[in-house]
């Protein structure tokens, strides 16, 4: 992922309200290892149900961001679940249903979509956490490209007006 500035991030959101943008907490950008990320995802420390995703749009060469909201309940402990972005199987308590308003008037009218995502929004890190002998660079590159494609498809659905 190419690095993002605070200005890039604040200008990227397609479904945030003015109030959300005003309160938008930023992650530690100076601590981010950009080359190990397909997207930047973080949770809001002051509003625990909120999360934020920002990635580069390959077609338009600009960052795109969406605000997501975690469901209040979690899946039952003791079962497995899979994140729809990174496709990593894990305990169900580490995957959460996130919903997000669609961009524009549709979202202002209450139209939302949702999907199951890693609770900490750290899919980029999760696809790299396997033992090195099981995760050669070409496998990580392929998993990263697939992850980014799924995130881009989800944000494209958020921006779809019809």
- Give residue-wise pLDDT tens across range 26-64: 999 999 999 999 999 999 999 999 999 999 997 778 999
Half-sphere exposure of 108 (CA within 13 A, CB side): 5
Strand (E) or helix (H) holding 149: helix 137-159
Q: Where are the alpha helices (DSSP H) in 26-136?
A: 104-108, 123-126
What is the rounded distance in angstroms from the CA atom of residue 122 to the CA atom of residue 18? 26
Per-residue confidence (pLDDT) for residue 116, from 0 to 100: 96
* Top-confidence residue, 133 or 22: 22
Which phi-psi region, left, alpha or beta, contains residue 32 (left: φ > 0; alpha: ψ -120 to 50)? beta
Per-residue confidence (pLDDT) for residue 103, from 0 to 100: 93
Per-residue confidence (pLDDT) for residue 162, from 0 to 100: 59
Please give the average per-residue pLDDT across 100-112, as a whole number. Answer: 93
3-class DSSP state of 134: helix
Q: Where are the alpha helices (DSSP H) in 6-62?
A: 6-10, 18-23
Per-residue confidence (pLDDT) for residue 74, from 0 to 100: 75
Average per-residue pLDDT for the chain: 92
Instruction: Give the β-pairing of 40-43 and 50-57.
Output: antiparallel
pTM of the predicted protein model: 0.91
What is the rounded distance in angstroms from the CA atom of residue 4 to the CA atom of residue 27? 11
Please give the average per-residue pLDDT across 21-28, as a whole number. Answer: 94
pLDDT band at 137; cut points 50, 70, 90: confident
- Give residue-wise pLDDT tens across range 62-81: 999 999 999 987 777 788 99
């Amino acid at each position: 992922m190419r690095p993002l500035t605070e200005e890039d991030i604040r200008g990227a959101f397609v479904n945030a309200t003015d109030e959300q943008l005003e309160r938008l907490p930023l992650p530690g950008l100076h601590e981010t290892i950009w080359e190990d990320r397909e997207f930047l995802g973080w949770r809001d420390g002051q509003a625990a149900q909120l999360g934020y995703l920002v990635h580069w749009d390959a077609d338009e060469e600009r960052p795109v961001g969406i605000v997501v909201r975690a469901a209040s309940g979690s899946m039952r402990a003791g079962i497995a679940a899979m994140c729809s972005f990174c496709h990593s199987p894990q305990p169900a308590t580490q995957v959460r249903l996130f919903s997000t308003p669609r961009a524009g008037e549709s979202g202002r009218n209450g139209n939302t979509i949702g999907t199951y995502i890693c609770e900490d929004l750290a899919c980029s890190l999760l696809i790299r956490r396997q033992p090195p002998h099981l995760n050669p660079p070409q496998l990580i590159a392929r998993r990263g490209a697939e992850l980014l494609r799924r995130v881009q498809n989800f944000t494209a659905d958020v921006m779809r007006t019809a």
